[in-house]
A and B are shown apart, each in its own frame.
Chain A
């Protein structure tokens, strides 16, 4: 038992600090991906309800592709595909070698996957807002942008939040896939520790506990945000 404490401890003999650094990488990758996914997903949902058939079709093609591909395959396509393209580009132009790091690849791949799913969440949230809301805003003389920002968006966030919370949870878990292309996140640090110390059960178990802690903290935070968006209803 004492042995386990040394192995999980901080400092040169233990792997605790490596796992903690991995947790920071996991959280920062998720937080870095979130804004990309949310913005792109929101734009996609706008495109999907536009009257312009071509725009709608384009958004549907995007969603079909990135919802249908395994996340791991999307990650490999971005990592190897973009890097191969960059290599041939720098060979052709004679520029210094450019390469996509595993962090940026992970951000891109998980971001597009997140946005494909988020667009559907936003779309159904838009359908939950009565048409009269934007008409009333326009009748009051607000511009289209102001109607979106002041009337639609606050209601949209409230309706979309449970769906987006689920997507955040899967994003947090999907970051573990980026360890396969070499990102030093929780899972990769645990794999290294397991290989060196020959204690795979202890370290993969600790990794799982760390992920559980992250999801529990997330659900507490998301519960807080949910109550915050519903504070108007509670007063009634």
Chain B
């Protein structure tokens, strides 16, 4: 094409004049930032950091460990569920579908309440099978509900990712004489994981946000410590600290994912 018109110069991009809507919008944010800075320096109280700094850090640790452990437990549970969703057996498919639909169709907070308050009714039963120590603790109840909840979401991520791998990959493995297990773990899963990376990272971010709910059942995670600090001081800045910590955590994870994705897909870039 360019051979036909060798002398046409590239069009000069017109300089964008600053428009009023953008100026107003950014002005609102700048005003908000200044108001926030003024508010924060005005109310900032170093004694509060002395009083609650360590509890915030321990809350952050509880949030991070709760999310990590339940994400990993959920990953283990999600594998059979995802396989059930893709199975030819009608019963397995129905059960896996019901599991996924139940946990994705109801609020996490209701699930947590059902486990923490509802299971207490069956104390005798849990004592007889020796599991009462587990369902007595709010932390374990939160872990249990979060793990099952994320298992349902992760099963769908996993299923989508496995189904995104072309059928030819299975056939190629078969023609090389590999067994189904080897094909699944050595050929399909590595390719599926590249597709699943971003949904998995989104799921972790959603879990960090959702895990704040366990504060309602008296787990002292970051949000639980915040609520306690607020109830002792009635100082709104306690919530602002929590917001900054959550934002930092989520943003760090988001940038880490972008970096990991760029690195893992560098063989696909042209």
Contacts and interface: CB of A to CB of B under 8 A. Distances in A.
Do A and B make up one complex?
Answer: yes
A199 interface: yes
Secondary structure of the B contact surface, majority rule: helix
Contacts of A200: 113-114, 117-118, 120-121
A93 to B, nearest CB: 18
B134 interface: no
B110 A80 contact: no
Nearest to A74: B243
Most chain A Cβ neighbours within 10 Å, of B26, B110, B117, B246:
B110
A69 interface: yes
Interface stretch (A99-107, A155-163, A209-217): A209-217
B212 interface: yes
A57 to B, nearest CB: 6
B16 A52 contact: yes
A64 B251 contact: yes
A205 B25 CA distance: 46
Given A68-B246, A69-B247, A180-B216, A187 B109 contact: yes
B29 interface: yes
Interface residues of B, number: 50
Contact of B250 (A68, A81, A187, A208): A68
A58 B22 contact: yes
A84 B205 CA distance: 30
A54 B247 contact: no
Nearest to A76: B239
Contact of A55 (B21, B212, B247, B251): B21
Interface in A181-236: 187, 190-191, 194, 199-201, 204-205, 207-208, 211-212, 215-216
A57 B240 CA distance: 22
A115 B228 CA distance: 30
B25 A215 contact: no
Nearest to A81: B236
Interface string B223-246: 100100010000010011011001
Given A72-B212, A208-B114, A173 B16 contact: no
Nearest to A218: B105
Given A190-B110, A208-B114, 6 more contacts: A52-B16, A68-B251, A200-B118, A201-B122, A208-B106, A212-B105
Nearest 9 A-B pairs (CB), nearest first? A54-B22, A55-B22, A201-B118, A58-B25, A176-B107, A52-B22, A200-B117, A70-B212, A68-B250
Interface of A: 47, 50-59, 61, 64-65, 67-73, 76-77, 80-81, 84, 169, 173-177, 179-180, 187, 190-191, 194, 199-201, 204-205, 207-208, 211-212, 215-216
